[in-house]
């Protein structure tokens, strides 16, 4: 069973000192552009807060090469989450959400 999505939250602007408020634990997340509603990112994760905060910093391998964590410029974004108890439940929830989207898109086409 898929739990309910959280409310949409504005993605924090690191340069302004804003911090991310997201669950520390497994689940799925969706990030979209505020202006158009276009999907920016969707995934399951072991730690939602960490996965969402990594979007603001880009790839860890690239950052370790330069030896610093400079925030990259992101478009105006908002996100929502579904928390799960385990990573396996997060993967199943992500597959169900994607399945529902595919069914909707095929019925609209």
CA dist 37 to 23, 40, 45, Å? Answer: 23, 9, 22
Query: How many Cα atoms within 13 Å fall on the side-chain side of residue 67?
Result: 0
d(CA 12, CA 71): 11
pLDDT tens-digit map of 82-101: 999 999 999 999 999 888 88
d(CA 68, CA 72): 12
Residues, the chain, total? 109
Predicted local distance difference test score (pLDDT) of residue 73:
54
Predicted local distance difference test score (pLDDT) of residue 65:
47
Q: Judge: domain 9-108, CATH 1.10.3720.10.
A: no
Contacts of 36 (CB under 8 A, 6+ apart): none
Predicted local distance difference test score (pLDDT) of residue 99:
87
CA dist 101 to 42, 43, 85, Å? Answer: 12, 14, 23
Domain boundaries, the chain: 9-108
Looking at the predicted structure, is the pLDDT value of residue 28 above 80?
yes
* pTM confidence score: 0.76
pLDDT tens-digit map of 35-85: 999 888 899 999 999 999 887 655 444 444 445 555 555 668 899 999 999
């Amino acid at each position: 069973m898929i739990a309910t999505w959280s409310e949409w939250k504005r993605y924090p602007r690191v340069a302004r000192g804003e911090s991310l408020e997201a669950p520390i634990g497994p689940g799925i997340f969706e990030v979209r552009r505020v202006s158009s509603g276009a999907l920016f990112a969707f995934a399951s994760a072991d730690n939602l807060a960490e996965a969402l905060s990594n979007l603001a910093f880009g790839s860890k391998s690239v950052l370790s090469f330069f030896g610093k964590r400079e925030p990259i410029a992101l478009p105006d974004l908002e996100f929502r989450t579904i928390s799960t108890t385990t990573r396996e439940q997060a993967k199943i929830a992500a597959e169900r959400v994607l399945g529902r989207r595919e069914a909707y898109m095929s019925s609209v086409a």
